[in-house]
Chain A
């Protein structure tokens, strides 16, 4: 059941993500460089956990799986591995203990393994699953809610909500939301406390935040603020990617001049903050539209917007990027990785 004019592979117009498959030395090099980029970016707590990203990606390396997988699929729009690959690692790590228990003893496999035999493959699997069993996985879509404080006199509880997600665009985002909830007979609670005062989000609240993850922080702030009984204090959106690789994907027009060699790389990590306690709005993100203090309701809600972005690049690109940023009037952190 496809619309006329569409290929079998594109069931909904514009939704098939562009991908490219790499293998062999290019695959090994990509994974190694990606790990180093995550490390070099020095991501703080407002971004998806850097160590989890690095460990998750490391499992994709041919040195880890020893050729059990023939290629690696890259989302060329984000420059990160595709959703299928992130899921592949998640599946392998979660199933590793069970699969290890089903494999024969490695000594027996080694005795029977000849080149290209099924026993050789099983031996590689034993080694692979053993190596990855304790891998810390990146969150592809998970929420954590913590209680910050309670003010019984005001019947108000203060929470911090953190949502990590691999977005439809292929970028990793972390939403950090500080909010408070006032108990009221007229409003339905979105966050609850159990007897041990452990916070738990309701299913509908989780769904709401999940869907808003693809929107910007400011719109999320406004939408949440419209919910009765809920007071939003701060929304922070930290984004990992996109990453442009000289030999894999093409940077959009504004950035194309920064990529002139196969070894060049341009990794971006944006930070958008909407908060009640920021003195004034400021846009230090050369790729984001101007702060929308003009948005309807911004003055009423009293928030300010701060946008920033940092870069990880190849050392050869430093001069070009510095000039490019200067032309746009921003001062951004730039790290290098060779």
Chain B
């Protein structure tokens, strides 16, 4: 008996905040909210990616129009007509020049620079999301470790209490009914049963918490990986596009002025091809990223919804427990405790 009393008076130092069904439910809800926020953010990033793609597609169309127009100029069709008209005495003073090539190129360059800036900022936002997801992973990992440690403590206590309870019951069975000793043993059995119930529930909750946070961590890991890959690809694209635009910037004014001045278009066409090619690469990249987003984000949203149902079932089951289920829970907990002990014994 003194052994049982000693067990009852010894406190278990569980780490972290206390756990209860309500506390676990609130924790899981909070974890889900954080994760939902990340998924929504990822969907938002996908939306922004779509606008970037649309804007870039429009730029391509403009660049192609400009290139086509310049190509026609080079062929001399319009210019030949203008030359002819310029010779007519009543018309020559009235012929005004066509649009400035330099002005068009610069406007297009400045617009491209703006798009590139938006893409660069987008990439930085991806980096922020990635950093926060990896912080989240660390935090979830720490919680899992805490849950496992607490499970171990709870399992040890459950085994101790179970053993003490068995001893107390056996002694009670052998004692004469109504004697002082029998009454003391009845009180002890009640206390042991109460403690066993409490620590069994804790063990179950810690095991559940570990399992559920582990699943959340899987989702978080997947999100982090998706964003990390996208961030890497974006950084590569931005570097390439920046180099292309830098190359063009150094020449675009002079090229445009030369075209205006002398209508020499061959090398200009090459410049535009170079710029157009880079934009083509960009659009292909963005299209591929869209597909990647669609596959991964939608699937992760579905997983979260499925996870919600499972959580609710487990927690509902715990909440619905009553006296008739108590023995069943304790038997389950005992099995779990033994398994935990064996597992820890194997790894230590």
Give me the interface of A with B, judged by CB distance under 8 Å.
1-3, 9-17, 19, 82-84, 87-88, 90-92, 94-95, 99, 102, 104, 117-119, 121-122, 125, 140-141, 166-168, 170, 186-188, 190, 202-208, 210-211, 214, 226-228
Looking at the complex, which one of B93, B96, B252 makes contact with A205 (CB distance below 8 Å)? B96
Chain B residues with CB below 8 A from A3, complex form: 267
Chain A residues with CB below 8 A from B250, complex form: 9, 16-17, 19, 82-84
Judge whether A83 and B249 touch: CB under 8 Å.
yes
The 6 A-B residue pairs with the shortest CB-CB distance, nearest first, are: A15-B254, A168-B257, A168-B253, A228-B93, A84-B249, A12-B267
Cβ-closest chain A residue relative to B116: A91
Q: List 27 A-B contacts (CB under 8 A).
A: A12-B255, A12-B264, A15-B251, A15-B258, A16-B254, A17-B251, A83-B250, A84-B246, A87-B110, A87-B249, A90-B110, A102-B121, A119-B131, A121-B124, A166-B253, A167-B253, A168-B256, A186-B90, A190-B96, A204-B96, A204-B99, A207-B103, A210-B103, A211-B97, A211-B261, A214-B261, A226-B93
Q: Tell me, rounded to whole Å, the shortest Cβ–Cβ distance linking A330 to chain B.
A: 29
Chain B residues with CB below 8 A from A228, complex form: 93-94
Judge whether A168 and B94 touch: CB under 8 Å.
no
B125 at the interface (CB under 8 A from A): yes
Q: Tell me, rounded to whole Å, the shortest Cβ–Cβ distance linking A315 to chain B.
A: 34
B233 at the interface (CB under 8 A from A): no
Distance, CA A323 to CA B131, complexed state (A):
64
Tell me which residues from 62 to 101 in chain B have a Cβ below 8 Å from any Cβ of chain A.
90, 93-94, 96-100
Distance, CA A104 to CA B264, complexed state (A):
49
Distance, CA A240 to CA B14, complexed state (A):
75
Judge whether A188 and B94 touch: CB under 8 Å.
yes
Looking at the complex, which one of A94, A119, A168, A226 makes contact with B128 (CB distance below 8 Å)? A119
Distance, CA A116 to CA B28, complexed state (A):
33
Looking at the complex, which one of A92, A102, A204 makes contact with B117 (CB distance below 8 Å)? A92
Chain B at the A interface: mostly helix, strand, loop or mixed? helix
Q: Tell me, rounded to whole Å, the shortest Cβ–Cβ distance linking B306 to chain A.
A: 31
Judge whether B267 and A95 touch: CB under 8 Å.
no
Cβ-closest chain A residue relative to B256: A168
Tell me which residues from 236 to 270 in chain B have a Cβ below 8 Å from any Cβ of chain A.
245-247, 249-258, 260-261, 264, 267-270
Chain B residues with CB below 8 A from A214, complex form: 257, 261
Judge whether A16 and B124 touch: CB under 8 Å.
no
Q: Tell me, rounded to whole Å, the shortest Cβ–Cβ distance linking B69 to chain A.
A: 13
Judge whether A12 and B271 touch: CB under 8 Å.
yes
Cβ-closest chain B residue relative to A223: B97
- A87-B113, A119-B128 given as contacts; is B246 within 8 A of A11 (CB)? no
Q: Tell me, rounded to whole Å, the shortest Cβ–Cβ distance linking A182 to chain B.
A: 13
Residue interface bits B122-141, CB-to-A below 8 A is 1, else 0: 00110110010000000000
Judge whether B121 and A99 touch: CB under 8 Å.
yes
Distance, CA A157 to CA B80, complexed state (A):
34
Chain B residues with CB below 8 A from A102, complex form: 121, 125
Chain A residues with CB below 8 A from B255, complex form: 11-12, 15
Distance, CA A87 to CA B98, complexed state (A):
25
Looking at the complex, which one of B98, B114, B246, B252 makes contact with A91 (CB distance below 8 Å)? B114
Looking at the complex, which one of B94, B96, B249, B256 makes contact with A208 (CB distance below 8 Å)? B96
Distance, CA A213 to CA B77, complexed state (A):
27
Distance, CA A92 to CA B117, complexed state (A):
8
Judge whether B253 and A83 touch: CB under 8 Å.
yes
Distance, CA A170 to CA B254, complexed state (A):
9
Judge whether B273 and A1 touch: CB under 8 Å.
yes
Taking A15-B251, A140-B110 as known contacts, 20 extra A-B pairs with beta carbons closer than 8 A to each other, sorted by chain A number, are A1-B270, A10-B251, A11-B267, A13-B267, A16-B254, A83-B252, A84-B250, A95-B117, A95-B118, A99-B121, A118-B124, A168-B256, A168-B257, A186-B90, A204-B96, A211-B257, A211-B260, A226-B93, A227-B94, A228-B94
